[in-house]
Amino acid sequence: MEKKITILYIITSTNVGGTERALLELIKRIDRTQFDILVCSLKKEGAFSEKIKQETDGFYCLELSESGGILALLSFIPALISLFLLIRYTKPDIIHSFLFRANIIGRLAGRMAGVKKIISSIRVIEANKPFKHFLDRNTSSLVTVYTAVSEAVRNFTIQQTGLSPDKIITIQNGIDCSLAERTFPGEFKTNKAKVNIGLFGRLDKQKGHLVLLNAVKKLISKEKEIRVFFFGEGPDEDNLKEIVMQKGLSEYINFMGVTDNIYSCILQMDIIAIPSLWEGLPNILLESMVLSKPVIASKIDGITEVVTNNINALLFNPGDENELSENIQRLIYDKNFAYKLGANARKHVVNNFSIDKSVQKTTELYFDLSYEE
């Protein structure tokens, strides 16, 4: 029997998020007769850590602060040393990292420890982040290959880092297409007499919560039965709650916090809103589509690779609260059209974004790297 290939996945956190869910779905499907799976979280254990642990041959946590900025910089050297020692101890054949902090620390510690095959995954277009681009560009020589979650992310990364196009490949997110045939116990029940709109994502400017708030403010004079649910936590939470109060929207907006039962929550919604200002390829888009939910999303790179306006989703210009409110109203009044969008969405995802395709491409990459000298 040939020696199994040991993969060390390094991720910034194990909180509930799209990247964390993508990692979990990947390692659940990796062939364990051919691979040993190790996972290291830089930050303290999050809500997903127990699920991830169950799928690994070893789970490690460096307990770094959740804070960014200066605190993240101060913890950089201790984190680098700790990760270097962990890599020397575990002796992985390949390091595969996710999210910016893990990408940078992972490639540095990996090279210091003598690992020759290092993969950095780019999950989002980091718009207006010159310092991050500078660090990535000046450490890119340490990376064997980059993976991008969409062609838009790939092209953006090439532009920002000056990478050779041969060094970065696109492996799109995949989704478990059996989700629609399964049942999920509910954490809560919505009022089905209302129109329930869900926004799933970190409470951060990137995700466009304020755009949806402004759109809802325009609608409530006509549509009193709207209820909006924000699922997630993040740095903008207090500010968003203050804005909700100022705009008199407390009756209409619900802050739900994080959930690891996301599919049950999606199924409770009538409309999924994705008003992001920039993205990569958001998991929530594929998850909502495979569950046949009508989606209204920003017309931005990454999302437009997946959906076609008026066919399997409604698109609006990013930041345009008027257009978003019009699209919401259209789905409220034309339920047959909303149903058709959802049905087309599921068919499109099943045909093009199966998780099996994503896992196959990823494992093929591991084999290719392992056979290289």
Q: Consecutive 10-residue runs of the chain (373 residues): their mean pLDDT?
A: 88 86 92 96 87 94 70 76 96 96 95 97 83 89 95 90 91 84 68 89 93 94 87 93 95 90 90 94 93 96 94 97 96 96 96 92 95 71
pTM for this prediction: 0.88
Domains and CATH numbers, the chain: 5-174+354-371 (3.40.50.2000), 179-352 (3.40.50.2000)
Strands of the chain (E only): list them: 5-11, 35-43, 58-64, 94-98, 117-122, 145-148, 168-170, 195-200, 226-231, 253-257, 271-274, 295-298, 314-316
DSSP 232: B
CA angle 90, 91, 92 (to 5 degrees): 100
